[in-house]
């Protein structure tokens, strides 16, 4: 089993030409800005890419917004004997250093980050629970459930709401897009 390593933004920037960068965020998040040359393979689709990633001749650098999902992706790859590094602090740290983020060509709509989608959804459900609680107190349990979920999410560093939101159509790659990404990846790593 391979132990994942971490690269900070400066280290990754200095080695960008020798790394195969895989962005594990949703397509909407990827469209909002990604490292130059990064390929988008969402975390929940990473298993499908394992055969190609396992043949990589260059070092893999996995990236997400903050570094949490890419660390999970590195652990998944390590379980399958595929060495990979994660970008400490993710694209957030990359942007803070003033490094360039690429955005898709015009016509592609950038989406909200997963964190923003979770905050919006959680806030909306809490407000709905509080509002409906004026009609019947049992509706306040909806708000309590979301609060409990947020606490659980923080304690376990997981997010069930993000997993559910990631399944929405605007957060899912079309099959053809993933196939094209895998073909481009195969070309780079062979």
d(CA 75, CA 32): 25
**Which one is catalytic: 64, 85, 93, 126?**
64
Strand partners, 19: 59
Residue with tokens 């990633």: 53
Exposed, middle or buried, 153 (CB in 10 Å: 0-12/13-18/19+)?
middle
Q: Catalytic: 64?
A: yes
Q: Which residues contact 170 (CB under 8 A, 6 or more apart)?
A: 27, 28, 111
What residues contact 48, with CB distance under 8 A and at least 6 apart? 178, 182
DSSP 63-100: E-SSSHHHHHHHHHHHHTT--EEEETTHHHHHHHTT--
Distances (CA, A) of 60 to 18, 20, 131, 157, 169: 9, 5, 48, 23, 28
Active site positions, annotated: 64
């Amino acid at each position: 089993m391979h132990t994942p390593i971490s690269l900070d933004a400066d280290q990754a920037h200095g080695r960008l030409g020798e790394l195969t960068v895989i962005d594990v965020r949703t397509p909407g998040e990827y469209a909002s800005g990604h490292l130059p040359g990064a390929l988008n393979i969402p975390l929940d689709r990473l298993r499908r890419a394992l055969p190609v990633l396992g043949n990589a001749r260059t070092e893999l650098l996995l990236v997400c917004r903050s570094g949490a999902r890419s660390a999970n992706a590195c652990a998944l790859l390590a379980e399958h004997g595929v060495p990979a590094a994660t970008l400490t602090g993710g694209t957030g740290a990359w942007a803070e250093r003033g490094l360039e983020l690429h955005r898709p060509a015009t016509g592609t709509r950038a989406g909200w980050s997963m964190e923003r989608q979770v905050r919006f959804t959680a806030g909306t459900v809490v407000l709905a629970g509080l509002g409906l609680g004026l009609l019947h107190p049992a509706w306040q349990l909806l708000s309590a459930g979301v609060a409990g979920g947020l606490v659980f999410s923080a304690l376990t560093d997981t997010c069930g709401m993000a997993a559910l939101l990631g399944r929405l159509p605007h957060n899912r790659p079309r099959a053809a897009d993933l196939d094209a990404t895998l073909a481009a990846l195969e070309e780079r790593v062979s």
